[in-house]
Structure 1
């Protein structure tokens, strides 16, 4: 008879307090993980802007290397269609690329500025050295942008 009582007790399952502890732990983990997950989702969406800008960087680099009369030669802002994450992209006369993301991607504005030998690129001039890109953004958006764009 003692064996039957022990067997019934072993099959009783979890106590209420054990279940409450597990639920509390899951709640704490969810409270920490969800905001981090949302930030990483926005960061992934901002990376699309960097990918789109890479094609424009190549265009500006080729035009500068060929001493073109216009660094935006071959770029048509009207042909750049907005996506779910990027609302617009433009290139100014000095070759600086500005990409603006949508609200889903944190409404971030990225500005990529090219320099060569410490000087800003200019039309009709061949760069004096390798073209380097400096990425800047609003300081309130640092958590969404790649580390190279966190200008301090």
Structure 2
């Protein structure tokens, strides 16, 4: 008598494979979303970098911070510094009495950007320090989306 051999997978085996895939997806998807948000945040640094050199140069030549629309080398609309995820970038003067700063405030869009960054701001504080212009980064976005340079200890 010939014995019939089974070919294929049993229902239990298939359910185990589906469970393993579900567990891997539950771990991978949030990590990927954080990675995407971090990469989107990096656009704020790129936009600010485009302004930093001009601000430092203006400070060196004039001894004050530039103003959008008032000074020739800076366009009047903050939206002219927009990007794919960045809505605008604005230049403001910090009000510290002893140590005034030239601040670049970058605002993220409210749509088409990760939820953790929607409408959030990144602030790049520039200050003159003995002939050098130094920049510090802060943000109101969650710390897990920020690069090391912008995280508070």
**Above 0.5 in TM-score?**
yes
- Tell me: CA distance 1:147–1:77, structure 2 relative to 1, closer, same or farther (3 Å): farther
Residue in structure 1 matched with residue 98 of structure 2 by the alignment: none
Contact persistence 2:137–2:150 (CA under 8 A): yes
Q: Secondary structure at the match of 1:66?
A: helix
Contact persistence 1:135–1:151 (CA under 8 A): no
Contact persistence 1:137–1:151 (CA under 8 A): no
- Tell me: CA distance 1:81–1:110, structure 2 relative to 1, closer, same or farther (3 Å): closer
Structure 2 unaligned residues grouped into runs of 5+: 94-100
TM-score by length of 2: 0.76
- Tell me: CA distance 1:112–1:70, structure 2 relative to 1, closer, same or farther (3 Å): closer
TM-score by length of 1: 0.77
Equivalent-residue separation in structure 2 for 1:129 and 1:52 (angstroms):
24
Q: Which has the higher contact order (CA 8 A, sep 6+)?
A: 1
Contact persistence 2:47–2:81 (CA under 8 A): no
Contact persistence 1:77–1:90 (CA under 8 A): no
Equivalent-residue separation in structure 2 for 1:129 and 1:50 (angstroms):
23
Shift of 1:22: 0.7
Shift of 1:81: 5.1
The structure with the largest helix share of the pair is 1
Aligned residues: 136
Residue in structure 1 matched with residue 105 of structure 2 by the alignment: 98
CA RMSD of aligned residues (A): 2.2
Equivalent-residue separation in structure 2 for 1:144 and 1:129 (angstroms):
32
